[in-house]
Amino acid sequence: MRTDALSVDTSKRKFTDLTGEVERFVSSAGSNGLVSVFVPHATAGLALIETGSGSEDDLDNALEGLLPRRRAYVHSHGSPGHGADHVLPAFISPSLVVPVVDSALQLGTWQSIVLVDLNRDNPGRTVRLSFIPA
């Protein structure tokens, strides 16, 4: 298994498209297999969504409806709404697996791998990439 880690600064955005970095990783990792993408953080997740078409805003609005920042959370330290950050990974998984064929991600036409991070308290993120050959 080949593995690598990305360092991502999310201080300026809630959604970070990682597709290019994952494509670069699998192009040098092997021809066929699976790539695992994992965020080892309690307040971030990964999504397969269309980017650049308004889907990021739609997801942001949906998450605000599901996990309102102004709500009182038992987990209440940190910035307002930080309790919602800790619930996020129950809905937006911290991991995903994508098939790789001939060194190419087998994503759908409009799918991108996106890091979702609503937590403003901790913008330094690590994303772990692992390639499992066939």
Q: At which residue do the structure tokens 């991600």 appear?
A: 105
| Phi, psi for residue 59 in degrees, rounded to 5 | -65, -40
Annotated domain spans of the chain: 2-133
Task: Summarize pLDDT for 95-111 with one digit per residue, the tens.
Answer: 999 999 999 999 999 99
- Residue 50 CB-density burial (10 A; 0-12 exposed, 13-18 middle, 19+ buried): middle
Predicted TM-score (pTM) above 0.85: yes
* Nearby residues of 122 by Cβ (< 8 Å), 6 or more positions away: 41, 43
Q: Are 51 and 109 in contact (CB under 8 A)?
A: no
Residues 8 and 16 sit within 8 Å (Cβ to Cβ): yes
Residue 88, classed as helix, strand or coil, is helix
Q: Per-residue pLDDT tens for 1-59? A: 999 999 999 999 999 999 999 999 999 876 899 999 999 999 999 999 999 999 999 99
The CATH classification of domain 2-133, taken from the options 3.20.20.10, 1.10.274.10, 2.60.120.460, 2.40.128.720: 2.60.120.460
- Closest by alpha carbon to 85, among 107, 126, 117? 117
Most distant pair of Cα atoms in the chain: their distance: 49
Tokens of 102: 């001939």
